[in-house]
Amino acid sequence: MKAFPALDQLITCFGRLPGIGRRSAERMALKLVRESGRLLPELIAALETVRDNVRCCSKCGSITSLGEEPCRLCTSPARQATVLCVVEDPNDILLIERSGSFDGRYHALMGKLSPMRGEGPEDLRVEALVRRVGVEGIREVILALSTDVAGDATASYLAERLRGTGVQVTRLAFGIPAGSGIAYSDPVTLERAMKGRQQA
């Protein structure tokens, strides 16, 4: 595709999205070229709408609209303000909400520790988490992280960072298979894991 730099740039952009390999990115780009009269304007409009109206909440990291800052999850008086569920990604918040198993607040780290990818604590929202625990009177922090090596390392690091703050640190228990994550779990599994959380 090097003869078409514009198309190659589009393929490269699609390839940066999670779960999209080179071949999938090529198929997506070529589909847009084939149906450029219909599909391309819709995609451009949707991307512009998201760019102009959707943000990550500055407090918890969840998805919110431009006019709701902080988000509804952070401001709702119906939610438990002293229980904080820590997740890797805003998508994890959506999945837990869909399960209906949690009514507290959230904190998205925006990743997990991964020395192989060069991602350390300074690349995550760890300091913001520690500040929130101190300022908001949090009594329990639930670590709802993947059960792979990077997720376990992140959970251990966070438990150590929060030691001595007086907050109870728990971790999701059964339900989420080892080597998997929240993104691959159904609502029933998430509910069981949330109810069966254990001391970290």
Q: CA-to-CA distance for 126 and 108, rounded, in angstroms?
A: 9
Mean of pLDDT values over 137-141: 96
End-to-end CA distance of the chain: 50
Burial 117-133 (b: 16+ CB within 10 A, else e): eebeeeebbbebbeebb
Q: Looking at residues 49-54, what average pLDDT do you find?
A: 95
Give the mean pLDDT of 143-158: 91
Q: Say what the pLDDT of residue 191 is.
A: 77
Residue 190: what pLDDT?
A: 80
Do 174 and 192 form a contact (C-beta atoms < 8 A)? yes
Domain range annotation of the chain: 76-199
Can the peptide bond before residue 187 be classed as cis, meaning omega within 30 degrees of 0? no
Domain 76-199 CATH (choose: 3.40.640.10, 3.20.20.300, 3.40.47.10, 3.40.1360.10): 3.40.1360.10
Mean per-residue pLDDT, 165-191 = 78
Q: What would the pLDDT profile of 18-28 be if each residue is shown by its tens digit?
A: 889 999 999 99
**pLDDT score of 176:** 64
Q: Of the ranges 13-17, 43-47, 140-144, 196-200, which one carries the lowest mean pLDDT score? A: 196-200
| Residue 35 to residue 110: CA distance in whole angstroms | 34
Question: How far, rounded to the nearest angstrom, does the alpha carbon of residue 109 sit from its chain's CA centroid?
Answer: 7
Query: Mean pLDDT throughout 109-135?
Result: 92
Kindly state the average pLDDT of the residues 156-176: 87
**pTM for the whole thing?**
0.80
